[in-house]
Structure 1
Amino acid sequence: MSFRITGLPAEPFTDLFSLSDEALAARLAVRVVADHAHGYPCRISLTDAEPGQPLILLNYEHQPADSPFRSRYAIYIREGEQQYDEVDRVPDQLRRRLLSVRGFDGRGMLRDADVAQGTALEPLIERLFDDDHVAYLHIHMARPGCYAARVDRA
């Protein structure tokens, strides 16, 4: 089964990079600088920031469904990134992590969920999409629990 993984679109975040620290704080966001590799995953490009690269850490509503599963959490974004949007390809950022994958129906209700190493993501995507009621998947970094990407049938 073909699948499509997407990061977040860059446009809604563009203005954040020009805001003062006080204005960012009012939006529940802060400026940070990556201090080690593979610890600052950009949710737009689905790539990891290199040490020394600036990012913005913000609170983001990744599951806006009108259901008990509506959810928001902290995410990192980097300036100047392009949205990841690929079919049948898992980005390296996801491959190197333990992932929690959650399958939601069209009403935003959780149908199924499981955990897998990123190196074993495709079989889990296929298993969750075997349920015709699953409309889309959300991938989360399993340890910190933060939203990573969306998966749709291609």
Structure 2
Amino acid sequence: MAYTIRGLNSSAFTHLFGQDENYLARHLARRMRADKNSGFPDRIALRDVPEGEYAILINHAYQPAETPYFGRHAIFIHEGCTRQGVYQDEVPPYLTTRLLSMRAFNAADMIIAAEVTQGSEAESLIFQMLRQPETAYIHVHSARFGCYLCVIERS
């Protein structure tokens, strides 16, 4: 079964790149420098922000559908990153090291299944969720912090 894992489009965030702290604050955002222990997962490229580089922490509507599952949460983006990560039939390495919460949604944007798994075992759960014909897409979140990480779609 073919699937695509996709990061966020950078166009929603590029206005933040290079801005001062006042501008960021007006957009409920903060700049943070990644260190070797930070593990800031960039939601655009789908990789951890490299040590010494900057991430922007911002509140993001990861589930904009007008349903009870509408959702917003804090996410990190790699400042300056404009290349969207797209992985075809492959789990990005940055997911494999995390404890994940995976939530399958139907075409009406309602959750129909949810599981927690180690990232190293995510692919089998992806296949299990996509085998359900009513699954339209899957959201992946950090099971520990609850932050949105990416979307998985049928290919």
TM-score (structure 1 length as normaliser):
0.96
2:96 paired residue number = 95
Match of 1:104 in 2: 105
> AA paired with 1:42?
D
Structure 1 segments, 4+ long, off by >3 Å, are: none
Q: Is the 8 A contact 1:38 1:50 kept in 2?
A: no
- Superposition pairs for residues 57-136 of structure 1, below 5 Å? 57-78=57-78, 79-136=80-137
Stretches of structure 1 lacking an aligned partner (at least 5 in a row): none
Secondary structure in structure 2 of the residue aligned to 1:67:
coil
- The amino acid that maps onto 1:151 is I
Paired position in structure 1 for 2:138: 137
Unaligned stretches of 5+ residues in structure 2: none
CA separation of 1:30 and 1:38: change in aligned 2, threshold 3 A? closer
Alignment size in residue pairs: 154
Quick one: which amino acid aligns to residue 133 of structure 2?
D
TM-score relative to the length of structure 2: 0.95
CA positional deviation for 1:38: 5.5
- Once the two structures are aligned, what percentage of the paired residues are identical? 40
Q: Please give the secondary structure, in 2, of the residue aligned with 1:102.
A: strand
Task: Describe the superposition over 1:123-149 as per-residue Cα deviations: whole angstroms up to 9, x where unpaired.
Answer: 101111121111000000111110000
Matched-pair contact (CA < 8 Å) for 2:44–2:81? no
- In structure 1, distance between residues paired with 2:39 and 2:82: 17
Q: Which amino acid aligns with 2:94?
A: Q
Q: Deviations for 1:66-89, whole angstroms, at most 9, x for unmatched residues? A: 100000100111113410112101
CA contact (8 A) 1:37 1:48 kept: no
One-letter amino acid of the counterpart of residue 131, structure 1: Q
